[in-house]
Amino acid sequence: MSVIKKKLLADYESNHIVMVHPHMHRDKSHYSDLYMIFSSLNKIFLHNKTKQTIVFNENGKSENLYDLTDPSVSKIFYNCDDIWIRDYLPKIYISEGSKKMIRYRFNAYGEKYNYKNDNNFKEILNYISGEIDLDNIVLEGGNLEFSARGILITNMHCIKKNNIANCTINLEKEINRMTEELGINELFTINLNGIIGDDTNGHIDNFIRFIDNESIVYFASKDESYCNYLLACKLEKQVSDIVDRSKIIKRAIPLYHSKDDELIKNGKIYPYSKLNFIATTECFIFPCISNNRESLQHDLDSLPSKTKIYVINTEAALTEYGGLHCLTANI
């Protein structure tokens, strides 16, 4: 095993969360449900003494749905294009005791939406310097899953799809360069389409997540009538290969999905995954939908985690084609 020269910042070792207030969705019918997700997160983080940075529109005022009086909560003003800060805020690692950022380009999943301001958001983080510069390729934080033991897992299908305009770039070479510069112990890639309704082309945070240094949870299904059943079967084989090859990962725990885990509105299937949870040093926050809150709680009771576990309904975020994890970034 190689020595980790730079320590990856795993979500479960972070105690600082960044969120973007959804002002850009104010005119939508589900806006009140959307901002209640943020309000619920604000309360959970306050209860667990998790630092928060909330980004507000430069032309707007702080919303009264947050408790901004606590010293653990700070605010900044910037005109973000959208709320998915997980994807455009650079991933963080620790070098010589200081937080550093891995720079990369963001293009809203293959230029599906406006993204100029989101891509430039990293420029206002001038209190964090960066030694790893991958600005020549498109990456998203939701497709880079880190463990504190120096493991990186990502979905290469997603990277290739979102870099389709970068036909002259050797993507595998760039990813390998990042692993070398970070001193990563183990790099694992899966190769899968996204779950139905996924706007990101297959982010890893819908498929595989770390819950501690030696344990991963993964997207699974035994229900042949479930819309993502075949995809889950393909993933299971790839997860088995990861565990067989890894010298660090000891456990792979399935989080099963069934027909009850489908969010369907007006005939459209939205991208719900139990894997799209938030992790900090103090707690895990899992997403649910109206149909599965009870069954999800039963699933979570079997997890080996010793930290507190919360469950909140995130249907409003799913209606915007994103998940709970995507609404936050760990720094």
Tens digits of residue pLDDT in 16-34:
999 999 999 999 999 999 9
306 burial via Cβ count (<10 Å: 0-12, 13-18, 19+): exposed
Q: What is the average pLDDT score of the chain? A: 93
Q: Which amino acid is located at 160 in the chain?
A: K
Instruction: For 188-237, write each residue's pLDDT tens digit.
Output: 999 999 999 999 999 999 999 999 999 999 999 999 999 999 999 999 99
Instruction: For 85-136, write each residue's pLDDT tens digit.
Output: 999 999 999 988 889 999 999 999 999 999 999 999 998 876 566 678 898 9
**What residue ranges define each of the domains in the chain, with the CATH number in brackets?**
7-330 (3.75.10.10)
Longest dimension (CA), the chain: 53
What's residue 9's pLDDT?
Answer: 96
Residues 6+ apart with CB under 8 A from 117: 78, 79, 80, 81
Q: Which tops the pLDDT comparison, 291 or 59? A: 291
Q: What is the DSSP letter of 326?
A: G
The gap from C-alpha 58 to its chain's centroid, in whole angstroms, comes to: 25
pLDDT band of 306, cuts 50, 70, 90: confident
**0.85 surpassed by pTM:** yes
d(CA 251, CA 261): 24
d(CA 110, CA 98): 32
